[in-house]
């Protein structure tokens, strides 16, 4: 992990701007900044200072001839690539990742990124052609943002660095805001700050002679399917998964794993044990109710002899929100909470930790995939019956109070089925618990709505579904998630909550080679009848206790819905009576008040929308005034005091 930053084609005083960018990202790399300068182009990095390794600082920058490189991340096939590169007739043994990239770029130019495997954000300054190249890894684990301004071209790992260096003024990007409200993430190339672009996964940006161009160097494909038996496919998956996990293990330093009750994290632990041959740390988060996953996680930990760390957080989560949002550099949903607590727990023991994110996208693990498939059949029910009788009846019986009961599930199914064809149905499924177009029209002020009325988040997702090369409907949805939710939500949360605590969070299920293998597996091996993750479950039967194989994972939960309906009502009313998003004319007071009141009265479950609005308000205050999260403490305490 590191922070990268810099500029090109800038002829002003650059030292102060570089210092500001470096200082704002000290959490991503506490080591002293390393900067390579020329007259108009400078690139720099801050490397992490490891707490549990003999090698305290990881090299993140280098200069080789006329090539300068700074890098955030890990190239997992570095050793094999170094053997292929000859320097003065000898293999490039023991080179840093940055040095490897420099030599690889010298030998094969921009195509070098196709040969890399791992999680990375890279900046290369080629002095011979005076061009700056940015690259983001295949699945988009590592972030990089840029602003192409009249003064020059600036880039950084986080948008707060660009604001701290006064590269762009803070103006919220209304189109990105609209997408966030519907999708719970900001899809690349958008960012919430006007004038700032998020480099999409598997893309490079080239800035030369004052012009910037983007090129895609890889994309996942679901078009080609393997023709082999189930057992042969499981054998291949076992090999690919073990290779992906073993490749992620650090050359030096201490590594551990997040361990829930799910198949993904369980298989990571099994393979880490095989690769390491010695005990390592595992980290499990529990809740004190029937959905607690710690007992299942404990069975896996005991089978493989890991050093168990278990936590049942009792923190005041709302009070921690400014710190969590500041670490993310953008607002998010409640998945943030578990990621933040896990990284905090792991940081006291390890330098790197593995997460199971990506497994659900590989093997169709999310319930919405089956739900959207069901909606395809449910759409055969006559529209008049669905819309005039079933939907009103479900609403009357409390269907809008959540998805846990039959009325909520049937109302969801009815509305998804009525959205149109598969692409539109999937967009409706994603937006259902968030802000659909009518919800946003009610929320935005009249002036703001004029700016975003034509922004169609549904079509953004629907186009991804339509353009997928997959034949099966479910795989079209998997393909869409690979391009959107996985990089800009789950992997983003892993990277930035880890960075906030000084550790690398690695995701072997988002390994390029494993992904290419998994996308070639026929869909009937991923979903068998109504059993999702079928082939992964078959692999788990070889590795995990049977209780873990059969366990129905629910995920770690925080009782925000109940709190919003009870003790947090005064706090929420106080915050949004003082909301800058409302005072600045972006949202309407009446719409926000209605959302809070309806949830408090038990009419509609709005807790996901409330969390999004609350995290958005906190982010907006910090970003607009370039505040550190500690600067938010008085504001938060004032409003928390309203609870009495």
Looking at residue 490, its pLDDT comes to 96
- Report the range of poorest mean pLDDT among 398-407, 475-484, 606-615: 398-407
- Specify the pLDDT at position 644: 66
- pLDDT at residue 401, as a whole number: 85
List, for residues 238-260, the tens digit of each pLDDT value: 999 999 999 998 776 679 999 99
Confidence of residue 53 (pLDDT cuts 50, 70, 90): low
DSSP code of residue 307: E
The overall average pLDDT reported for the chain is 93
**291 pLDDT higher than 90:** no
- Assess whether pLDDT exceeds 70 at residue 285: yes
| C-alpha–C-alpha distance, residues 5 and 383, integer Å | 54
What is the Cα–Cα distance from 124 to 69, expressed in whole angstroms? Answer: 5
- Confidence band (pLDDT; 50, 70, 90) for 367? confident
User: What would the mean pLDDT of 271-296 be, rounded to a whole number?
Assistant: 93
Share of the chain above pLDDT 90, in %: 83
Distance of CA 203 to the CA centre of its chain: 17
Q: In what order do the strands lie in the sheet containing 131-136?
A: 61-64, 67-75, 118-126, 131-136, 203-208, 211-216
399 confidence band (pLDDT: 50, 70, 90)? confident
Question: Which pLDDT band holds residue 527 (cuts at 50, 70, 90)?
Answer: very high
Alpha carbons 176 and 190: distance in angstroms, whole number: 6
Q: What is the dihedral of CA 563, 564, 570, 573, to 10 degrees?
A: 160
Per-residue model confidence (pLDDT) at position 288: 87
- Pairing type for strands 255-258 and 352-354 reads parallel
Q: Given this model, what pLDDT does residue 253 score? A: 62
Q: What is the pTM of this model?
A: 0.95
- Residue 55 pLDDT exceeds 60: no
Q: Per-residue DSSP letters for 144-155?
A: -EEEE-SS-EEE
What's the count of helices (H) and strands (E) in the chain, helices before strands? Answer: 32, 19
Three-state DSSP state, 472 = coil
For residue 212, give every residue at least 6 positions away whose Cβ sits within 8 Å of its Cβ, in sequence order, or none: 146, 148, 153, 205, 206
Calpha distance 320→432 (Å, rounded) = 27
Q: How high is the pLDDT of residue 519?
A: 97
DSSP character at residue 188 = T
Contact 511, 247 (CB under 8 A): yes
pLDDT digits (tens, 9 = 90+) for 471-522: 999 999 999 999 999 999 999 999 999 999 999 999 999 999 999 999 999 9
Please identify which residue in the block is written with the tokens 């990375």. 120
CA distance 142 to 179: 21
Position 529 confidence tier, pLDDT thresholds 50, 70, 90? confident
Give me the helices (H) in 468-550, please.
Answer: 473-483, 485, 491-500, 512-518, 534-543, 546-550
DSSP string computed for 406-427: HHHHHHHHHHHHTT-SHHHHHH
Residue 211's H or E segment, with its range, is: strand 211-216
CB of 408 within 8 A of CB of 400?
A: yes
Instruction: Measure the CA–CA gap between 252 and 275, rounded to whole angstroms.
Output: 14
Domain ranges for the chain, please list them. 2-216, 230-316+330-363+480-550, 560-643
pLDDT tens, 12-41?
888 899 999 999 999 998 788 899 999 899
Interval 418-465: pLDDT, tens: 999 999 999 999 999 999 999 999 999 999 999 999 999 999 999 999
Mean pLDDT of 549-572: 91
Strand, helix or coil for residue 230: helix
pLDDT tens readout for residues 318-346: 999 999 999 999 999 999 999 999 999 99
Q: CATH fold of 2-216, please?
A: 3.60.20
Mean pLDDT of 94-123: 94
Question: Which is more confidently placed, 91 or 105?
Answer: 105
Long-range contacts (CB closer than 8 Å, 24 or more residues apart) made by 393-396: none
Q: Give 50 or 382, the one with higher predicted confidence.
A: 382
The HSE-up count of residue 151 (CA atoms within 13 Å, CB side) is 16
Q: What pLDDT score was predicted for residue 252? A: 63
pLDDT band of residue 65 (cuts 50, 70, 90) is very high
**Res. 57: pLDDT tops 60:** no
CATH class of the structural domain 230-316+330-363+480-550: alpha beta
In which band, very low, low, confident or very high, does the pLDDT at 91 lie, cut at 50, 70 and 90? confident
- Predicted pLDDT at 171: 97
């Amino acid at each position: 992990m590191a922070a990268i930053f810099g500029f090109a084609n800038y002829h002003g005083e650059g030292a102060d701007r570089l210092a500001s960018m470096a200082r704002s990202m000290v959490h991503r790399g506490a080591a002293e900044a390393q900067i390579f300068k020329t007259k108009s182009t400078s690139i720099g990095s801050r490397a992490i200072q490891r707490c549990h390794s003999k090698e305290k600082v990881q090299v993140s920058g280098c200069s080789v001839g006329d090539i300068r490189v700074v890098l955030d991340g890990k190239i997992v096939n570095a050793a094999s690539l170094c053997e292929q590169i000859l320097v003065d007739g000898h293999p490039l043994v023991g080179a840093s990742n940055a040095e490897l990239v420099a030599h690889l770029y010298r030998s094969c130019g921009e195509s070098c990124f196709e040969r890399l495997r791992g999680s990375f954000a890279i900046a290369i300054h080629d002095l011979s052609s005076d061009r700056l190249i940015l690259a983001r890894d295949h699945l988009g684990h590592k972030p990089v943002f840029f602003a192409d301004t009249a003064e020059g071209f600036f880039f950084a790992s986080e948008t707060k660095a660009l604001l701290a260096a006064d590269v762009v003024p803070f103006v919220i990007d209304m189109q990105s805001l609209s997408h966030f409200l519907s999708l719970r993430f900001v899809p690349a190339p958008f960012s919430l700050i006007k004038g700032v672009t998020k480099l999409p996964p598997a893309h490079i940006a080239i800035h030369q002679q004052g012009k910037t161009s983007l090129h895609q160097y890889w994309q996942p494909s679901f078009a080609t399917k393997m023709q082999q038996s189930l057992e042969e496919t499981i054998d291949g998956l076992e090999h690919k998964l073990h290779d992906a996990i073993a490749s992620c293990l650090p050359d030096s330093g201490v590594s551990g794993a997040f361990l829930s009750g799910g198949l993904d994290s369980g298989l990571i632990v099994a393979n880490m044990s095989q690769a390491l041959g010695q005990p390592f740390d595992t980290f499990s988060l529990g809740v004190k109710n029937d959905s607690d996953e710690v007992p299942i996680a404990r069975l896996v930990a005991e089978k493989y002899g890991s050093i168990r760390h278990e936590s049942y957080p009792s923190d005041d989560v709302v009070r921690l929100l400014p710190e969590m949002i500041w670490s993310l550099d953008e607002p998010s949903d409640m998945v943030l909470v578990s990621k933040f607590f896990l990284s905090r727990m792991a940081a006291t023991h390890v330098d790197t930790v593995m997460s199971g994110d990506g497994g659900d996208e590989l093997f169709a693990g999310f319930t919405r995939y089956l739900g959207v498939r069901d909606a395809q059949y449910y759409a055969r029910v006559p529209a008049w019956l669905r819309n005039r009788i079933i939907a009103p009846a479900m609403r009357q019986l409390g269907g809008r109070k959540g998805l846990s009961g039959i009325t909520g599930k049937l109302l969801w199914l009815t509305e998804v089925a009525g959205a149109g064809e598969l692409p539109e149905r999937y967009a409706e499924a994603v937006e259902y618990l968030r802000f659909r177009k009518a919800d946003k029209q009610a929320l935005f002020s009249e002036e703001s709505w004029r700016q975003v009325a034509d922004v169609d988040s549904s079509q953004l997702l629907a186009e991804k579904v339509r353009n997928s090369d997959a034949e099966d409907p479910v795989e079209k949805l998997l393909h869409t998630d690979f391009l959107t939710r996985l990089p800009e939500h789950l992997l983003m949360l892993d990277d930035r909550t880890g960075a906030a605590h000084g550790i690398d969070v690695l995701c072997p299920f988002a390994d390029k080679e494993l992904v290419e293998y998994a996308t070639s597996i026929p869909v009937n091996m991923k979903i068998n009848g109504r059993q999702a993750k079928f082939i992964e479950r078959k692999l788990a039967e070889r590795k995990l206790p049977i209780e873990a194989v059969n366990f129905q994972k629910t995920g770690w939960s925080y009782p925000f819905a109940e709190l919003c309906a009870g003790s947090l009502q005064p706090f929420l009313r106080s915050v949004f009576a003082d909301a800058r998003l409302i005072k600045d004319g972006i949202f309407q007071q009446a719409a926000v008040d209605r959302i809070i009141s309806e949830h408090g009265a038990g009419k509609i479950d709005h807790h996901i929308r409330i969390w999004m609005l609350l995290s958005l308000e906190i982010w907006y205050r910090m970003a607009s005034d370039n505040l550190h999260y500690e600067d938010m403490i008085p504001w938060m305490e004032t409003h928390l005091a309203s609870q009495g």
